[in-house]
Structure 1
């Protein structure tokens, strides 16, 4: 069940268009809107029904502004009881800047951001009441729905969100309306899980980046949105770490933001990406208000630098940081004003250098770190085909057919017939989980994909435990978190049945 919450019917059209077959859709609007918008939504809902969605009646109209919209939305959500909520962008990106007034200028009605913030507040309240995870997607303004749902998210879904702990147990982290939730195994390689349990952190926006440090500990990065006393909002980058599976994480540490001196600029900060170098220094990158890249670095002794700016090409929200074969850190980004992808790397002497020559164009929302150091995965902008690229390669390496959508997740160290393989997992045809593999470090040998016969909301994930056992996980419609383990057969990528992640 998905609740689409918007200002008026016209704003719901792209969100309904993105719903996959099988979804149950309920639309909630703040006001009735214009006749043309209502007709456009009627057409979008009819088309959704034709492709296999179930539409739950006419749009629900709250009755306009002026009342307590959070309370009214909460009443509607209690009745709908959704698993997912789709709404607009609470912190849209500016299109120009009024130098006289010192304020950003937007091409979206102010009410769009307001209803998105109210929808997030109502969703948090509902999750607090029920204890059940409610997953939220915020739709970027003017996003091209033809490129798929992952290309339209303001806060990206996590990619490698299933991680193996130091004691061999797996942990799954997912963002929800009320913050991050986690599941973890009772025993290494066991089938019993605990969760979902909340990772304390009020005000977190519904996105997440998970990165492992050189010791294997998972580091979580997110954005936190806090109301100010003057009516504004502060949006800041935050960071937490899990050192022991099943034990509390560290408190969320605020890293601020590159434009935190002015909340009107600071609220637009892009979602963080991060990577560790081989010495253990942590680099965190974001897109700043001026559409260039800013970063902070935490040294191995725990000291953070101030925010520093790379400048150069104006970039979109898609940033991916990777650790290179030589132990350094690089960052990739899609350009804002062209189809190019740009790369920043530290040259001799440590100065950051911009490389505008990567020979590919990536579909928005699909870039992710590859298992090979310094390499990335992405979907081709025009063909949707998953591909890999490493610096110095003259062309990307194709990774099989163009089915599915969103980024490709990966796990390394999968053994078959005495050889090490890299496993890929993606949302494939019709949203079904699909896995593929290639000899570690050799994606050019080809990838053969196989369907795992379970649909996924978001990106499925995979991890290899310290004993070498492979597990895959997905968030399935109406079933919560599901996990399947690889069967112990030499030379095979066969998996056991999907099992709910519970005790």
Structure 2
């Protein structure tokens, strides 16, 4: 597969179009925790970001050639600046965000909302209370943003947080839409991020970063969890990602501290040791975005990330065959932040990112030429407007 498209993808860190110099600057934009680019139930792409007072949303038009709408602004009561989200198989997007607690304790509580259709309004935000362990310290607080995982069969939703002292907690909504209380998943405290996923037909599992390294926890039935693996590799904090890569199997990705290169790790089966494979790309930064798609007739895993030269890099390989080599593409886009991949209605890989002004920029694959991508485009209007879509 061919993969050098850097000559066609230059764009300024100040925006993709030369005529943008006089436009008003967007408010500060930060990427959510984990994945923020999704394909809806109608195959339209939607991108999200964290703004000054809530979520920002960009939505692809029904016909891709018609462009995008957004950014729309959705204010979140008590907004503290971060959020995470996950998609169900129906295309629903479930959100979780820490907000200012209503009990006056100063500790953040977690609020949740859902978007059921592309371009429509979010449901009202619902508070899940302050995450706590019964009998634990009253000043215990999360060490990072919440994360969201969805059971793709039943539609149940799980929100996870890691407390400074109380370990990892989970609050779940069942298939009927009823939320339970906060329950301790792991008693061990982890100061780093938690990266969860629930593979189809498998239990909820997660990778948690702590002082002793990275640990994998997995469901053991009847609401119980067990410590399944201690990962034999150091991890750069803030660089973990996860993807379902086989029946009831997931692969985790992160950067290795020694040289910043990407690695992939998958838990072993039937007593076999887990697989840790280097993917190269030394000197890069940040967490990769990841998606599975068909390339040249092969089921492939595709990662996008910031490379050593500050440009967007794409790495692809036949799923769960990391050791047999990768294809690479340099996409240009110097100055872009947190690139995320997705697959559009035509089956093309789309890579989206934010420029330094907070504008959403993207490039699309030309499938006839393998891993060759078109120029970067800025999408959406320059100023956010309140979200007005109907549910």
> TM-score with structure 2 length normalisation?
0.82
Alpha-carbon distance in structure 2 between the residues aligned to 1:227 and 1:314: 25
More strand by share: 2
Q: Deviations over 1:435-470 (max 9, x none)?
A: 111113323322233221113453111111243122
Q: Is contact 1:170-1:465 (8 Å) kept? A: yes
Per the alignment, do residues 361 and 184 of structure 1 end up closer, same or farther by CA in structure 2, a change over 3 Å counting? same
Alpha-carbon distance in structure 2 between the residues aligned to 1:410 and 1:371: 10
Alpha-carbon distance in structure 1 between the residues aligned to 2:25 and 2:72: 9
Tell me how far 1:201 sits from its aligned partner.
1.1
Alpha-carbon distance in structure 2 between the residues aligned to 1:390 and 1:332: 11
- The residue that corresponds to 1:133 in the other structure is 27
Per the alignment, do residues 458 and 257 of structure 1 end up closer, same or farther by CA in structure 2, a change over 3 Å counting? farther
Secondary structure, in 3 states, of the residue corresponding to 1:332? Answer: strand
User: In terms of mean alpha carbon deviation, does 398-407 or 349-358 score higher?
Assistant: 349-358
1:368 to 241, 246, 253: 241
- The residue that corresponds to 1:41 in the other structure is none
Tell me how far 1:348 sits from its aligned partner.
5.1
Alpha-carbon distance in structure 1 between the residues aligned to 2:174 and 2:138: 30
Where do 1:174-253 residues align within 5 Å?
174-190=49-65, 192-225=67-100, 233-253=106-126
Per the alignment, do residues 295 and 399 of structure 1 end up closer, same or farther by CA in structure 2, a change over 3 Å counting? same
CA RMSD of aligned residues (A): 2.8
Alignment pair present for 1:453 and 2:347: no
User: In terms of mean alpha carbon deviation, does 236-245 or 341-350 score higher?
Assistant: 341-350
Alpha-carbon distance in structure 1 between the residues aligned to 2:335 and 2:85: 19
**Structure 1: runs of 5 or more not aligned:** 1-21, 25-82, 84-129, 137-155
Per the alignment, do residues 441 and 311 of structure 1 end up closer, same or farther by CA in structure 2, a change over 3 Å counting? closer
1:411 to 279, 291, 315: 291
Tell me how far 1:498 sits from its aligned partner.
0.8
- The residue that corresponds to 1:399 in the other structure is 279
Alignment pair present for 1:161 and 2:64: no
- The residue that corresponds to 2:127 in the other structure is 254
Count of residues in Structure 1 that have an aligned counterpart in Structure 2 = 353
Q: Which has the larger radius of gyration?
A: 1
Tell me how far 1:239 sits from its aligned partner.
1.6
Alignment pair present for 1:315 and 2:190: yes
Q: Is contact 1:271-1:317 (8 Å) kept? A: no
Per the alignment, do residues 287 and 479 of structure 1 end up closer, same or farther by CA in structure 2, a change over 3 Å counting? closer
Q: Is contact 1:400-1:446 (8 Å) kept? A: no
- The residue that corresponds to 2:214 in the other structure is 341
Per the alignment, do residues 279 and 327 of structure 1 end up closer, same or farther by CA in structure 2, a change over 3 Å counting? farther
Q: Is contact 1:291-1:315 (8 Å) kept? A: no
Q: Is contact 1:189-1:469 (8 Å) kept? A: no
Q: Is contact 1:420-1:439 (8 Å) kept? A: yes
Alpha-carbon distance in structure 2 between the residues aligned to 1:416 and 1:255: 42
Alpha-carbon distance in structure 2 between the residues aligned to 1:158 and 1:370: 15
> TM-score with structure 1 length normalisation?
0.64
Alpha-carbon distance in structure 2 between the residues aligned to 1:364 and 1:291: 20
More helix by share: 1
2:319 to 425, 440, 446: 440
Tell me how far 1:311 sits from its aligned partner.
3.7
Of structures 1 and 2, the one scoring higher in RCO (CA 8 A, sep 6+) is 2
